[in-house]
Chain A
Amino acid sequence: MDELINKRVKEVLHGNQEAFEEIVIHFQHRLYQVCYRMLNNAAEAEDIAQEAFVRAYVNLETYDQKRKFSTWLYRIATNLCIDRIRKKKPDYYLDATIPGTEGLDMYSQLAAVQKLPEEEVEKMEMKDRIQYEVNRLPDKYRTIIILRYMEDLQLQEIADILEMPLGTVKTRVHRGREALRQQMGSM
């Protein structure tokens, strides 16, 4: 499959725009799903996932063909989602570093969605509840948990997508999992 994708990439680079359509068809659901899980909103997910494909097309020549195309595509999409989430948040001094932490700013502490009243949460269907809880995770755990459990990616692939050391990804999976467990504890 990867070979076929790389063949299509080469065709696009040689000016064949139609070859790109095949790439979009192949990855559309996966990319849309990541965006949907990250943003929890169908319209935004569609917008961002489409934007990710457009960016991939425009910057295709910067893609290193020795690496996995899907990794590169996921990286574009997750970065766009994170940007979008940050723009939605109220503008406190979110960039300010929190004293006593290593480079943590308010962004990393904020979740994508506001907390709902307890009774409303309890009425949710299980799927919605999971989505809701995942979106309440701090940024740095949320992306990793989504890629690991909703996209079912291997830890190494997540490390490649986010350009992080494998050890960091593992630690964050552990902490994200633990945070989720505590959030779900009231079930």
Chain B
Amino acid sequence: MEKCPKHVVHFIHAFLDGEITNEDEQVMNEHLKICEECRETFEELRQTVTLMKGVGIVEAPPGFVNGVTARLPKQTIKKGPSKWFRQHPFMVAAAMFLLLMSASFFSSFENEQQFSFTKQPNLVVEGETVVVPAGETVVGDLVVKNGDLRIEGEVDGNVTVIRGSKYMASTAVITGSSEEINEIFDWLWYKMKSMAKEVIPASKDPKLENE
């Protein structure tokens, strides 16, 4: 077969695959007429195919279906949520984000039990109470966590007391806004506001500008 053109072998296979063009089939037939070796190969291949197709059908033994049923796992297959998750990866990511974010909000509310406050030079600390002494002016915002705040002097900025109380002497002046946060939702709101302020530094409380 080496001496025969290689494409004839391709034609034979294309013929057996039922994919030969009429022209190629003619070329093949011309060659098969003159070349005994190729003709033999062709006949053998054709016979092989015929024999294979003729091996007949085997059927599954009786009881096959019951065998499958018996082997199926008892619980119903996984469906619903997991499929929905797979089809909506974005929603899952968004939900996870919210969940984790809120978890960090809550845990930071619950866990931060330590007394802390914004460091300003003229503050006085008595136990867990931060005092703005009379006649002093604190410039800048003041945040007190897990402690009380007593204002006798002046605060030139916003005042926030988280889980604590704020006492104002008659002489007290706060130029900014002031708030006390004791509930978790206040806390959340506060966190969101301070985050927004970080992102958009220019945003100010409109009330502030009115004053």
Contact = CB atoms under 8 A, between A and B. Distances in A.
A87 interface: no
Interface string B155-193: 000000000000000000000000000000000000000
Interface residues of A, number: 46
Interface residues of B, number: 33
Interface stretch (A70-78, A90-98, A108-116, A148-156): A148-156
A4 to B, nearest CB: 17
Interface residues of B, dominant DSSP: helix
Contacts, number: 107
A161 interface: no
Contact of B60 (A28, A60, A127): A28
Nearest to A174: B13
Contact of A50 (B41, B68, B76, B82): B68
Interface in B23-79: 41, 44-45, 47-49, 51-53, 55-61, 64-65, 67-69, 71-73, 76-79
A181 B77 contact: no
Contact of B65 (A13, A28, A54, A57): A28
Given A177-B13, A185-B44, A32 B52 contact: no
Contacts of A141: none
Contacts of A134: 52
A10 B61 CA distance: 28
Nearest to A57: B72
B83 interface: yes
B16 interface: yes
A-B interface, 7 closest residue pairs, ranked by CB to CB distance from nearest:
A32-B60, A149-B52, A28-B60, A174-B13, A53-B68, A181-B44, A29-B59
Interface of A: 12-15, 17, 20-21, 24-25, 28-29, 31-33, 36-37, 42, 46, 49-51, 53-54, 57-58, 60-61, 126-127, 130-131, 134, 145, 149-150, 152, 155, 170, 173-174, 177-178, 180-181, 184-185
